[in-house]
Amino acid sequence: MKYYIIAGEASGDLHGSNLIKALKAEDTKANIRCWGGDLMQNAGGTLVKHYKEMAFMGFLEVLFNLNAIFKNIHFCKTDIENFQPDVIIFIDYSGFNLRIAQWAKENHFRTNYYISPQIWASREGRIHKIKRDIDAMYVILPFEKEFYEDKHDFPVHFVGHPLIDAISNRGALDKESFYETFHLKKDKPIIALLPGSRKQEVEKMLNVMLSVANSFSEYQFVIAGAPSLDADFYTPFLKNPNVGFVSNRTYDLLSVSHTALVTSGTATLETALFNVPQVVCYKANWLSYQIAKRIITLEYISLVNLIMKSEVVKELIQTNLNRTNLETELSKIIKGPDRERILESYNALRRKLGGEGASKKAAALIVSGIKK
């Protein structure tokens, strides 16, 4: 059977790659065409367009790139028509994917969504488009099933979180080689810096994250370089000898880290699953933040706190994200009772997310749906 998968970001590429592997195990003759990244291509998908060409962050950035976005939408529709898939599988990336879903439904293509748009966070009215245009939804967060079924009478499948698979499927890390490859100091505990994956957010986040490096000289601060950005982009941030850099090896970095400063997003959950206490950071340009503040209705911004429905990890947002507050909160989680409390909460978080097998469950449901 023929599958067309659309992911638009690094996290979608990761989850899409595991879904492709699971689809190929479920359907040995699977022909998969995809929008995504290197991971999806390496998993066996025929890559149509790389997410690096599509990663626009914030309201202003999207506005300035509307021409490129509309060209991508037109190209995508044409490519789907030429390929004639048995199913189109959307992975998050709602601004683009919901547009394609409406067109696809009107043109009688089967539409599946794996990893729901975060309509529970903002613009909840998109539920009407989802109910109209999506044939089957596979959700990965426990509260999403309740949101869709109880609040909006839209049946969904909770398959568990694919990050659990992605982390458990990692090979053993050669710690000695890892430290040597990236010139890390073996005698200093690591504070990992995860500043995001897009240029705009990394530029905003790294300067404030690095402002505390000299205050914790007994630790080394190590930046996790995103696969979507060239290593040269990070060079201006590496002037402090107490700051290191790891390129495209975030999971390996987290596996040896003591503590972390993390930009809000999927990375907060990844950090928790590696048992690394963290401070969650977020800062956008003023206008984007003012707009977001008016349409996002959540009490928390990090997935860890949202899933647990309490402030497990500290969130420093916009003007609260400054050197003074960052020093204070980082000190609390480096050692002491706050650190132990967070680690205990991480155990409860894992139980809520369910066990392994999200990609396998989703693939089985997708294939059986086509056969029906």
What pLDDT, on the 0 to 100 scale, is given for residue 61?
Answer: 54
How would you list the strands of the sheet with 157-158, edge to edge?
46-50, 31-36, 2-7, 87-91, 111-114, 136-139, 157-158
What pLDDT, on the 0 to 100 scale, is given for residue 3?
Answer: 98
Domain-embedded: residue 169: no
- Whichever domain contains 129, its CATH number is 3.40.50.2000
What pLDDT, on the 0 to 100 scale, is given for residue 32?
Answer: 98
What pLDDT, on the 0 to 100 scale, is given for residue 291?
Answer: 58
Indicate whether 192 and 329 sit together in one domain: yes
Domain-embedded: residue 168: no
Indicate whether 203 and 95 sit together in one domain: no
What pLDDT, on the 0 to 100 scale, is given for residue 116?
Answer: 94
Indicate whether 196 and 326 sit together in one domain: yes
CB atoms within 10 A of CB 298: 12
| Secondary structure of residue 7 in the 3-state scheme | strand
**Domain span holding position 110:** 2-160+357-371
Phi-psi region of 226 (alpha: psi -120 to 50; beta: other; left: phi over 0): beta
What pLDDT, on the 0 to 100 scale, is given for residue 119?
Answer: 92
| Secondary structure of residue 43 in the 3-state scheme | coil
Q: How far is CA 352 from CA 143, 151, 243, in A?
A: 10, 20, 35
Indicate whether 345 and 361 sit together in one domain: no
The C-alpha R_g of the chain, in whole angstroms, comes to 21
Q: How far is CA 61 from CA 64, 189, 194, in A?
A: 5, 37, 21
pLDDT less than 50: residues of the chain = none
Q: What is the pLDDT of residues 127-182, one digit of tens each?
A: 999 999 999 999 999 999 999 999 999 999 999 999 998 888 888 999 999 999 99
What pLDDT, on the 0 to 100 scale, is given for residue 144?
Answer: 95
Domain-embedded: residue 165: no
CB of 312 within 8 A of CB of 342?
yes
Domain-embedded: residue 136: yes
CA pair distance 127, 154, nearest whole angstrom? 9
Indicate whether 140 and 203 sit together in one domain: no
Indicate whether 146 and 61 sit together in one domain: yes
Query: How many domains in the chain?
Result: 2
What pLDDT, on the 0 to 100 scale, is given for residue 301?
Answer: 85
